[in-house]
Chain A
Amino acid sequence: MDAFTTHTGTAAPLRRSAVDTDQIIPAEYLKRITRTGFEDGLFIAWRTNEPDFVLNQPQYADASILVAGPDFGTGSSREHANWALLDGGFRVVISSRFADIFRNNSTKSGLLTVVLPQADVEALWAAVEADPALQVTVDLQAKTVSYAGTTVPFEVDDYVRWRLLEGLDDVGLTERHLDDIQGFEDRRPAWLPKALPALPS
């Protein structure tokens, strides 16, 4: 995972609530077995069917920060939704509420999710609609979003922040505690189910 410290770029206003991961990337793109190359599926239905969809507007074509309505990333657990956003050039998604699995996935994939109050989201929407070239900076070190003289603080779990700043991979961190895991396994009751060997149905 790439470390995330600070990012500056332009932002796209996605004025929709409850954007589910089927919209971010539909199932047909999930047949691939790679971890990259999902940009062609990103918001594909809206990009195809809605000429004025925000990402079809040339002034937002290079945006790297997505500012979305509440409840972004609901539905399926597909981490492909994170990958598609990253492949599509986004480093940050801002919303007043994220679905849990999407947010959790983002802490593993290196896409930063920033929760701001809806009023701050609305202000940011208005600002980037007035000036699509507006430079927005998301600083994970300082925990702030700033643009055009405005600075808004955001909350982020300290442990997640540390991992993202360092670009650390969870598996490696957990492997420091293999003794604890072994100890736990030694205490598990023997009757707990095992998938192997297969038993006759």
Chain B
Amino acid sequence: MPKTLAEKVYEAHVVRSTPGEPDLLYIDLHLVHEVTSPQAFDGLRAAGRTVRRPDLTMATEDHNVPTLDILSPIADPISRAQVDALRANAKEFGIRLAPMGDRDQGIVHVIGPQLGLTQPGLTIVCGDSHTSTHGAFGALAFGIGTSEVEHVLATQTLPQYKPKQMSVTVDGELAPGVSAKDIILAVIAQIGTNGAQGHVIEYRGSAIEALSMEARMTICNMSIEAGAKAGLIAPDQKTFDFLQGRPHAPQGADWDAAVEHWSTLRTDEGAVFDAEVVLDASTLTPFVTWGTNPGQGLPLSERVPDPADIADESERRAAEQALAYMGLTPGTPLAEIEVDTVFLGSCTNGRIEDLRVAADLLRGKTIDPNTRMLVVPGSVGVKAQAEAEGLDRIFLDAGAEWRGAGCSMCLGMNPDQLKPGERSASTSNRNFQGRQGKGGRTHLVSPSVAAATALTGKLTAPADLIGA
């Protein structure tokens, strides 16, 4: 029977399958960060268990890390205790850790691909919903809770049911200034934050094939925002080229064996998806969210919607609550919304290509004097590369702040937060109430919209800068 890519990866990892019980799925790579792991390690200790495969486990510090003064101890004692707990646990259980100050430190979903640990055909989990990012390499990668983190640490497996299959096909060519972020925001606006619930999404079509690996990661990253268990893209030459030569990529004869296997990882002709979504990339324009979930988005050229026009009662109520929180009036052109802060970073858009796109728009210009722009590379590696390319100078000369690597204002567990009532244009993935700081208001955007917005102080599409 023809199979989808996700089914192939899933089935290749079933350790044990018995009717009436979940399958036991083997996990090839377990990524760990400080927030969702301490209780899992405590559970191991309480039960006298060890970590079954420390060699398949990698930890880093990302959520709590300050992006200024990163070589001093963390000032917030509770954050510091959490990071210290991870350090002690990594030491006790023999797990590799990339701590603050380490050349491999960064957002967990940025360092996996960067080190070449993220590879096609793997099962990858992390106590973090954006683990779907790694699907860009053709891996089955999904987020888990702390009890499951403990389960994987102890057994290197997880009880699972085979997810349903969804295809999102994007054909056509993107217009200049339109990016992967706009594709995924448009997909989520179309199918809703629950549209892919219970499914793995496979992104396919000519527009997806044309994307770089980094752009593919942006798309897969936000699969969870459509409710999906995971998102993936079939590996191709771009995938292999990205991986070749990375520290943990196979080498020599192993490389050839790996590429031979990876080349078989595609959906068979005639495989059946439980749900199919089709999008034409050539019709897309820059997208922005106006509400408090990632499905509440529109093309930037449109206006704040009027809840009265929404037929479904629960959606209408959600829109009313969102607009009240966001402090927006129906009918206002989105391009007139002024922001206080621009955040460029996160596991969605904190990679080198994202920084390059933004820097290109900012080169030789100065940002709006009333707008603050935070540029936070996704990892120490990204930061070093950006500095080698002189991007830091471009950002600094434009008046932006150049920070250390971490999650930063994506969720404000460190000091980088919005103040109550402040508004941001953010390249991150969640515009939930208070996500970037208590009372903060978030508009999700692409890196180029973020840069254009920093220049004007209001939500701006890059195309509208021409002649400005």
* Residue A26 is within 8 A (CB to CB) of chain B in the complex: yes
As a 0/1 sequence over residues 123 to 143 of chain A, the CB contacts with chain B under 8 angstroms (1 = contact) are 000000000000000000000
B82 touches A177 (CB 8 A): no
Task: Verify if B144 is at the interface (C-beta below 8 Å from A).
Answer: yes
Is the CB–CB distance between A195 and B248 below 8 Å? yes
Known interface pairs A76-B129, A104-B145; A195-B55 also in contact (CB < 8 Å) = yes
Given contact pairs A74-B293, A77-B127, A159 touches B21 in the complex (Cβ within 8 A): yes
CB distance from B11 to the nearest CB of A (A): 13
| Minimum distance in angstroms from B115 CB to a CB of chain A | 7
Partner of A70, one of B35, B52, B314: B314
Partner among A30, A76, A105, A191 whose Cβ is within 8 Å of the Cβ of B257: A191
Contact B318 A16 (CB under 8 A): yes
The answer to the question of A148 belonging to the interface, with a C-beta cut-off of 8 Å to chain B, is no
- Interface contact B248-A16, CB-CB below 8 Å: no
- Does A119 lie at the interface of the complex (its beta carbon under 8 Å from any beta carbon of B)? no
User: Is the Cβ of B147 less than 8 Å from the Cβ of A20?
Assistant: no
A69 to chain B, nearest CB (A): 6
- Residues on B with C-beta less than 8 A from A195 are 29, 54-58, 95-96, 117, 248
A27 partner, pick from B247, B248, B412, beta carbons under 8 A: B412
Contact B318 A180 (CB under 8 A): no
For A48, the closest partner residue in chain B by CB is B438
B residues less than 8 Å from A15 (CB atoms): 317
| Distance, CA A9 to CA B21, complexed state (A) | 31
For B151, give its contact among A74, A174, A185 (CB under 8 Å). Answer: A174
A188 to B119, CA, bound (A): 15
User: Per-position contact with A for B314-344: 1 when CB-CB < 8 Å, else 0?
Assistant: 1101100100000000000000000000000
Residues of B near A196 (CB, < 8 A) are: 54-55, 96
Q: Does A201 contact B (CB under 8 A)?
A: yes
Would A82 and B248 be within 8 Å (CB), given that A22-B433, A194-B55 are in contact?
no
**Which of B36-44, B282-290, B396-404, B448-456 lies on the face that meets chain A?**
B36-44
Q: A77-B129, A193-B28, A195-B56 given as contacts; is B159 within 8 A of A33 (CB)?
A: no
Which residues 146-201 of A have a CB within 8 angstroms of B?
158-159, 170-171, 173-175, 177-178, 180-181, 183-185, 188-196, 198-201
Residues on A with C-beta less than 8 A from B58 are 195
Which residue among A20, A100, A158 has the maximum number of chain B CB atoms within 10 Å of its CB? Answer: A100
A201 near B247 with CB under 8 A, answer: yes
CA distance A74 to B431 in the complex (A): 12
A17 lies within 8 A of B318 (CB): yes
Interface centre among B28, B115, B194 (most CB of A within 10 A): B194
Interface residues contributed by chain A, number (CB under 8 Å): 63
- Residues in B neighbouring A35, C-beta threshold 8 A: 39, 42, 146
- Measured between beta carbons, the chain A residues less than 8 angstroms from B434 are 22-23, 26, 45
**A190 to B250 CA separation, bound complex (whole angstroms):** 10
A28 at the interface (CB under 8 A from B): yes
Interface residues of A in 91-135 (CB under 8 A from B): 97, 99-101, 104-105, 108-109
Q: Does B104 sit within 8 A of A, measured CB to CB?
A: yes
User: Contact between B82 and A105 (Cβ–Cβ < 8 Å)?
Assistant: no
Query: Does A174 contact B157, Cβ atoms closer than 8 Å?
Result: yes
**Which residues of chain A have C-beta atoms less than 8 A from B81's C-beta?**
31, 33
B146 partner residues in chain A, CB cutoff 8 A: 35, 79-80, 105
| Contact (Cβ within 8 A) A31 B82 | yes
Q: For window 19-61 of chain B, which residues contact chain A by CB distance below 8 Å?
A: 20-22, 24, 26, 28-29, 35-36, 38-39, 42-43, 47, 49, 52, 54-58
For this complex, 18 residue pairs linking A to B, each with C-beta atoms less than 8 Å apart, are: A17-B318, A22-B434, A31-B81, A32-B78, A45-B434, A75-B432, A78-B35, A79-B147, A101-B224, A104-B148, A105-B146, A171-B150, A175-B155, A177-B15, A177-B16, A189-B257, A192-B119, A193-B116
Q: Footprint of B on A, CB under 8 Å?
A: 15-18, 20, 22-23, 26-28, 30-35, 45, 69-71, 74-80, 82, 97, 99-101, 104-105, 108-109, 158-159, 170-171, 173-175, 177-178, 180-181, 183-185, 188-196, 198-201
A-B residue pairs, 6 tightest by C-beta: A108-B147, A105-B145, A79-B145, A191-B254, A33-B38, A195-B58
